[in-house]
């Protein structure tokens, strides 16, 4: 993640603790940490995908040799949680002979929408993927080279949220991505094999030393 001022970091911590206190979860003594979670979905004929909703068992599977996810459930254990500060998407080849990935910064893929759900509440509503691009950016965090020949520099969309979004412990969450085309539709979908969604921010880990 990008470096941010100490005051902004403290704001994340304070909102996280206040939100959990309101839910009756005392998280003050838990271990603070930097948290980044991800989930990967291979594209089919659909145009709408729910990330993190079915991660059980996926941690042991791979997409092109890389783990499909780094969590085991779409809810955090007691004593754990996080603040979403950044969302990033990565176009990942999942074929035995990878094709040239679609340029996510100059394609119709950028017309897609992101929705984030925590519990029964939609906390991010129809946020365009263009928000993470270099042209129509809203607080984007992409850093690209000037060469368009290096496709690896064009496979990522990322942006920092202006609002700290808290995921409390034991509350289900998922990210829905809607695209204007399916992953296997004509030229618009060529090279779009799998999409990985990252949620990054401040987190808390269970600390048993203050609970026994």
For 155-170, the pLDDT digits (tens) are: 677 888 888 899 998 9
Range of the domain at 178: 36-76+87-163+170-200
112 falls within a domain: yes
Beta-carbon contacts of residue 204 (< 8 Å; ≥ 6 apart) = 16, 27, 30, 31, 32, 33, 79, 80, 81, 82
Most confident of 22-26, 113-117, 183-187: 113-117
Inform me whether the pLDDT recorded for 153 exceeds 60: no
Which one has a higher pLDDT value, 93 or 57?
A: 57
Tell me if residue 9 falls in helix, strand or coil.
helix
Tell me if residue 151 falls in helix, strand or coil.
helix
- Measured CA to CA in angstroms, residue 208 lies from 17, 79, 83, 102, 191 at distances of 18, 9, 21, 46, 46
Please report the pLDDT score of residue 157 as a whole number: 78
82 falls within a domain: no
pTM for the structure as a whole: 0.80
Computed over every residue of the chain, the mean pLDDT equals 76
208 falls within a domain: no
117 falls within a domain: yes
- Measured CA to CA in angstroms, residue 28 lies from 19, 105, 142 at distances of 11, 40, 33
Please report the pLDDT score of residue 177 as a whole number: 92
95 falls within a domain: yes
Overall domain count for the chain:
1
5 falls within a domain: no
118 falls within a domain: yes
In contact, 197 and 39? CB cutoff 8 Å: yes
Strand duo 66-67 + 81-92: pairing: unpaired
pLDDT band at 58 (very low <50, low <70, confident <90, very high): confident
Please report the pLDDT score of residue 212 as a whole number: 42
151 falls within a domain: yes
């Amino acid at each position: 993640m990008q470096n941010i001022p100490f005051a902004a970091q403290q704001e994340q911590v304070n909102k996280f603790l206040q939100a959990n206190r309101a839910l009756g979860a005392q998280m003050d003594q838990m271990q603070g940490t930097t948290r980044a979670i991800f989930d990967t979905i291979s594209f089919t004929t659909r145009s709408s995908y729910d990330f993190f909703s079915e991660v059980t068992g996926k941690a042991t599977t791979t997409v092109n040799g890389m783990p499909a996810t780094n969590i085991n459930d779409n809810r955090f254990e007691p004593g754990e949680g996080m603040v979403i500060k950044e969302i990033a998407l990565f176009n990942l080849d999942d074929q035995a002979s990878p094709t040239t990935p679609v340029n996510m910064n100059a394609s119709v893929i950028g017309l897609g929408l992101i929705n984030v759900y925590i519990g029964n509440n939609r906390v991010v509503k129809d946020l365009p993927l263009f928000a993470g691009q270099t042209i129509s950016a809203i607080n984007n965090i992409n850093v690209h080279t000037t060469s368009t020949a290096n496709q690896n520099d064009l496979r990522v969309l990322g942006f920092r949220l202006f609002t700290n979004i808290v995921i409390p412990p034991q509350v289900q969450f998922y990210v829905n991505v809607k695209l204007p085309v399916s992953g296997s539709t004509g030229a618009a979908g060529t090279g779009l094999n799998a999409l990985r969604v990252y949620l990054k921010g401040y987190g808390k880990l269970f600390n048993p030393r203050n609970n026994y």
